[in-house]
Amino acid sequence: MKITKEQLELGKSVLSETYDGWINRGGILDQVEWVNCLEVDLLDDGAFDYSGVYVSRDTWENPDDSDVQDFLECHLDDPEFRLLKFGFDGKLSEKETEIFKTWIVNHYSDPENSEGIYTGTFTYNDESLVVFTSRRGSSWEGVSAEVLGVFRSFDDGVKYMFEGNGIFP
């Protein structure tokens, strides 16, 4: 999407970047304000492309009890005893933990169970800024969207927000 030189310069002033190991993050509120000034709808598929889903490492390292319950109910024919044991000690076996990680990543990779990551590229001449957003919900419940960050490139955004923190395609 094309923007003006003034919009580009203002966008560059609120970037999230890393310099020599130090994070220089433009304030997210400044970034949201910049995107709002572009007067673009965060739900506009013409401006933002679906880029995948992000599954945080915390999802499998510190799971919600309801996720573990869903997992056990899906993988065991008679889960009642195992659910009681989990309720007592709060632990999965080593093998269950391996299977759970695969299951939870697949579960939260389903767009119905996760936030979709969308990106929009805003360009003036040969310079671009990439806006990362997330969307959650459905057409029958309503969809919400929010700005996650503004970066010089898609790769910079992925590295800054997701690398080492979980799984992103």
Tell me what pLDDT residue 23 has: 52
Tell me what pLDDT residue 27 has: 66
Domain range summary for the chain, segments of one domain joined by +: 5-54+115-167, 59-109
Whether the Cβ atoms of residue 55 and residue 105 lie closer than 8 Å to each other: yes
Give 15-32 pLDDT, tens digit per residue. Answer: 865 555 555 555 678 889
Please list, in sequence order, all residues whose beta carbon lies within 8 angstroms of the beta carbon of residue 124, skipping any fewer than 6 positions away.
Answer: 2, 3, 4, 5, 7, 8
Other C-beta atoms closer than 10 Å to the C-beta of 111 total: 14
pTM: 0.79
Give 61-75 pLDDT, tens digit per residue. Answer: 888 888 999 999 988
